[in-house]
A and B are shown apart, each in its own frame.
Chain A
Amino acid sequence: MIPLLDDKVLSHIGKSEPPQKELATRRDIRKYSVATGQRLRKFLDGDEAPPLFHIALFWDIVPLDELLTDGLSVDPLLPEFPLKRAMAGGWNIQYHRPIYPGDELVAKRTLSNIFEKSGSKGPLIFYEITRDIHTAAGEAVLTEKMTRILR
């Protein structure tokens, strides 16, 4: 098999973004809780954030003219891959402490791995983004690994 991934693409492994800082507000937690159909009072009242709230809190905000025709935006952490079509993704999260309203949180994303495998219908590219979230005071909140497959 001829490798799809050249040294230039692989050189992006280990690249990270400047930390992103966001404030968790009760209102945003309540909106998220209604949107996801939570039934526990502490989430609906915004006293604590549901375990995947950080996905909403740290979603990238880009100007309208930077959105692609499908409505997504280019992830500045990723190189140009030789395969384009995104398949299923996987998420793995280690929790250290819940998020509460008023928390100032800092997230740092790192492109932690890129590799290829041969699938039954052709080659596949896997990439993995690690996101570490802690409070502004330095307390660990969670560590997330997201894996995406391209075909």
Chain B
Amino acid sequence: MDRRSAQSISPGDALPERPLVCDTVQLFFYNAALWNAHRIHFDAPYATEGEGYPGLVVAGPLMGDWLTQCVLEWMGEAGELVSFEFSNRRAAFVDDPLVSGGTVRSVDATTGLVSLDLHISDADGQVLTPGQAVVRLPVD
């Protein structure tokens, strides 16, 4: 992994995109790890006939987690996550092809604080889960 520093990046730089698909097994594991029994995540007849969704709903905080992975994998071990926010604007469903990515919004070369814009998007490029993070990178 590249060593990032506040001097090695610029506003507008893209974070690597990652294709993501939540299948039934991953959705089961995620909700089991939480102990979350919300039926829209595992009971397909309930999700579709009961609540009118096109399929099992991907858990919102799982997509938030994917945004943190996008940041941490790009930032490297020398960086530090200062703050993170996301919101679940639109639902995603099991087996939907999604992608995570982001852009550097601003860099403070004195403090090393870097703000990032993040997103989970669907196959049409529509943003389902926007997010933002602030990280502290080493100052060379």
Contact = CB atoms under 8 A, between A and B. Distances in A.
Q: Do A and B come from one complex?
A: yes
Interface string B68-81: 11001100000011
Contacts of A28: 33
Contact of A92 (B26, B83, B88): B83
The range of chain A's interface size is 20 to 34
Interface in A46-86: 50-52, 55-56, 59, 61, 67, 70-72
Given A35-B30, A88-B89, A72 B37 contact: yes
Contacts of B33: 28, 31-32, 35-36, 56
Interface string B23-54: 00010011011111111100100100011000
A36 B35 contact: no
Given A40-B72, A71-B38, A35 B29 contact: yes
Given A52-B64, A90-B86, A92-B83, A37 B20 contact: yes
Contacts of B90: 88
Contacts of A115: none
B61 interface: yes
Contacts of B139: none
Contacts of B20: 37
A36 B65 contact: yes
A9 interface: no
Contacts of B65: 36, 50-52
A58 to B, nearest CB: 10
Contact of B83 (A31, A40, A90, A93): A93
B8 to A, nearest CB: 20
B34 A55 contact: yes
A67 B39 CA distance: 11
B107 to A, nearest CB: 19
Given A32-B33, A59-B35, A95-B81, A38 B87 contact: no
A67 B102 CA distance: 38
A88 B61 CA distance: 11
B81 A51 contact: yes
B39 A52 contact: no
19 contacts: A31-B29, A36-B66, A36-B69, A37-B26, A37-B69, A50-B68, A51-B65, A59-B36, A61-B35, A70-B38, A70-B40, A70-B46, A72-B37, A88-B89, A91-B86, A91-B87, A92-B83, A93-B84, A95-B81
Given A88-B90, A90-B88, A95-B81, 10 more contacts: A28-B33, A31-B32, A34-B29, A36-B33, A36-B62, A36-B65, A50-B65, A70-B46, A90-B85, A93-B85
Interface of A: 28, 31-32, 34-40, 50-52, 55-56, 59, 61, 67, 70-72, 88-95, 147
